[in-house]
A and B are shown apart, each in its own frame.
Chain A
Amino acid sequence: MRLIQKNICINFIASLFTLSAIFSCGSENNKLPILGERDWVTKTVDGKEIVDTIYNVIPPFTFVNQDSDTITEKIVEGKIYVSDFFFTSCPTICPVMKRQMLKVFKEIKANPDVMIISHTIDPEHDTPQVLHKYAEDLGVEGKQWQFVTGPKDKIYEIGQKNYMSTAKEDKSAEGGYIHSGAFILVDKEKHVRGMYDGTTDEGTQKLLKDITTLLEEYKK
């Protein structure tokens, strides 16, 4: 049973890009689902056996940003954030994603409770200096949008395992890397609450709507 449930969830994640309908894994109406692999533990409370769900959580991280500052998960403490993966010399989907992310940036700019973290998947080339110039050329100032670099294996690991976003080197791909065009929405508890196609306007609009929905959760 557990296996089946897991499969349902995984299938459901896989079909997220095509189906933006109502989520079966979510428990309440108007509440965004918690995405990712789950585990269940059984424990005994007051003599009764209860099942606890362990959700996918973004683990602690240490990266370096466009201002050459070391940042950790503390930077998003008490905030919700949008995450993505890119590289500055990417000729294919990154410019499209960054144009969409600029729209997100403009929307959240007034709200200190929301951040953006863009991870480079080409850390050898994308040093903090390169990221700084990129942010500047994009017209992004301040700390709300972090462009981060770090050890390649750490970026790929967190990307694939926790943000559920493909990121790997592929010499045959244009630009040398393949990665998904996903924007990933993370809540204050570090749960992934939504994945969106960052290459389309529809995906971006859905993300903006869900950011509002997620912020509502914390108002209660």
Chain B
Amino acid sequence: MIRPAGALLVLGLLNDACQSSQELKSEQYFAEGYQLYTTYCSNCHQTDGKGMSGLYPPLVGSGQLTEKSRLACIIKNGMSDTIMVNGKEFSRPMPPNPKLKDLEIAEIVTYLNIKWGKDSVFTSIEFVEKSLKDCAPN
């Protein structure tokens, strides 16, 4: 990349470094998230995220996916409400995953939203921390 000399160059370099570190982090989160998804989620939601019959809801196309605060809470605390996903009702409870750390949840949320949502960058640990604080069971 050719850039004008002086301050602009420094700024440009900084900007580039910043971008690439964010890209790198997104890639790391995505890769880790994929592993975690395979371990903790894909048994029910399937590798392709399409769920299984009327038993387990799909993630692809689900409104719960892009509501990331709620998504983080569901991953951590499980869910027992009846929900509508893509026009179908699901009422089977999802078990909580109390062992998952905030970082791991951030990685899963990142994976899901880059893979099947519209995100191109990672979801931060801070975001997950805040989300979980807001929905912490009493």
Q: Mark A79-93, 1 if CB is under 8 A from B, else 0.
A: 000000000010111
Check: A96 CB closer than 8 A to any chain B CB: yes
Q: Mark B41-85, 1 if CB is under 8 A from A, else 0.
A: 001101000001111100000000000000000000000000000
The CA of A127 and the CA of B43, in the complex, are separated in Å by: 23
The CA of A138 and the CA of B51, in the complex, are separated in Å by: 11
A99/B52 in contact, CB under 8 A:
yes
B93 proximity list for chain A (CB < 8 A): 89
Check: A112 CB closer than 8 A to any chain B CB: no
B46 proximity list for chain A (CB < 8 A): 99
The CA of A99 and the CA of B53, in the complex, are separated in Å by: 9
Check: A46 CB closer than 8 A to any chain B CB: no
Interface size class of chain B, counting residues whose CB lies under 8 Å from the partner chain: 10 to 19
The CA of A95 and the CA of B40, in the complex, are separated in Å by: 12
Check: B92 CB closer than 8 A to any chain A CB: yes
B54/A175 in contact, CB under 8 A:
no
Label chain A's interface by main secondary structure.
helix
Label chain B's interface by main secondary structure.
loop
Chain A count of residues within 8 A CB distance of the other chain: 16
B12 proximity list for chain A (CB < 8 A): none
B92 proximity list for chain A (CB < 8 A): 137
A139/B53 in contact, CB under 8 A:
yes
B53/A138 in contact, CB under 8 A:
yes
The CA of A102 and the CA of B55, in the complex, are separated in Å by: 13
> Which residue in chain B gives the minimum CB-CB distance to A88?
B92
Check: A134 CB closer than 8 A to any chain B CB: yes
A139/B54 in contact, CB under 8 A:
yes
Q: Determine how close the nearest CB of chain A comes to the CB of B72; give it in whole angstroms.
A: 19
The CA of A50 and the CA of B67, in the complex, are separated in Å by: 74
Check: A39 CB closer than 8 A to any chain B CB: no
Contacting B at CB under 8 A, from A126-145, are: 134, 136-139
Contact of A138 (CB < 8 Å), options: B43, B44, B54, B95: B54
The CA of A91 and the CA of B42, in the complex, are separated in Å by: 10
The CA of A92 and the CA of B39, in the complex, are separated in Å by: 9
The CA of A136 and the CA of B89, in the complex, are separated in Å by: 13
Contact of A134 (CB < 8 Å), options: B43, B44, B55, B95: B55
Highest count of chain B CB atoms <10 Å: which of A91, A99, A102, A139: A91
A137-B54 CB under 8 A given contacts A91-B44, A95-B43, A95-B44: yes
Closest 9 CB pairs of A and B: A137-B54, A139-B53, A137-B55, A95-B44, A95-B43, A91-B95, A138-B53, A96-B43, A138-B55
Q: Which residues of B come within 8 Å of A, CB atoms?
A: 43-44, 46, 52-56, 92-93, 95
Can you identify 12 A-B contacts, CB atoms within 8 angstroms? A89-B95, A91-B43, A91-B44, A91-B95, A95-B56, A99-B46, A99-B52, A134-B55, A137-B54, A137-B92, A138-B55, A139-B53
